[in-house]
Structure 1
Amino acid sequence: MVSRIVPVILLALLGALHAQLWLGRGSVPRVNEMQRQIDAQKAANDHARQINARLTSEVHDLKEGLDMVEEKARSELGMVRPNEVYVQFTPR
């Protein structure tokens, strides 16, 4: 009788470990899903870094020179210097 209990206990332990591998907190599907979430977050972070770098460059240009200020005024506010003719083309 003792010789049959040991394999049964070992099989039960193996079943419990296998169930933990596929259904538990650190299961394979959950780890894969978390890896997908990490990859998506890394992509979002890279995109945010690019935007931050562009904005930092723009702020630096605004602090250092008036060329960027003039460009912003022309594009966003429609600034025209004296004796200049403003021409706007619209796509068809």
Structure 2
Amino acid sequence: MRIVPFVFAALLLLVHAELWFGKGGVPHVMSLRSELTEQRARNDEARARNERLMAEVADLKDGVEIVEERARLDMGMIKPDEVLVVVAPGSR
């Protein structure tokens, strides 16, 4: 009869060890929390990028100003009544 409390104590220690260091233990939960934090940061960055792209698409669909700006910057286009002035960097 004296061995029963020791067996129960050993079983309790085994269960406790599994809770702390097993598959669902504290180290595993902490690593999952850090992964979750990193993923949320990546999601926030992607969400902000998507919002910028959606705003740009809406501007391209609705307005001509952004199309003109893109044509000027990317292709060097100018309007018929404009004069193109190029300023070289470092010149004064």
TM-score, structure 2 length as denominator? 0.86
Could you say what the CA RMSD is over the residues aligned between the two structures, in angstroms? 1.8
**1:18 aligns with one of 10, 16, 19:** 16
Change (3 A) 1:66 1:12: same
Quick one: distance in 1 between partners of 2:88 and 2:37?
A: 43
Partner of residue 41, structure 2: 43
Residue in 1 aligned with 2:89? 90
Whichever residue aligns with residue 43 of structure 1, its letter is A
For residues 18-44 of structure 1, give each alpha carbon's deviation from its aligned partner in whole angstroms, at most 9, with x where no partner exists. Answer: 211232111101100000000000000
**With structure 1 as the length reference, what TM-score do the two structures score?**
0.86
Answer whether contact 1:22 1:28 (CA < 8 A) is retained: yes
Question: Which ranges of structure 1 fall in alignment gaps of 5 or more residues?
Answer: none
Q: Is the 8 A contact 1:80 1:86 kept in 2?
A: no
Structure 1 position 17, deviation (Å): 1.7
1:39-65 CA distance string (max 9 Å, x none): 000000000000000000000000001
- Is this contact kept in 2: 1:73–1:79, CA < 8 A? yes
The structure carrying a bigger helix percent of its residues is 1
Shift of 1:12: 1.3
Change (3 A) 1:91 1:59: farther
Which amino acid is 2:85 matched to? Y
Distance 2:84 2:74 in 1: 17
C-alpha distance 36-91 of structure 1, shift in aligned 2 (>3 A): farther
Deviation at 1:75, TM superposition (A): 1.8
**What percentage of aligned pairs have identical amino acids?**
44
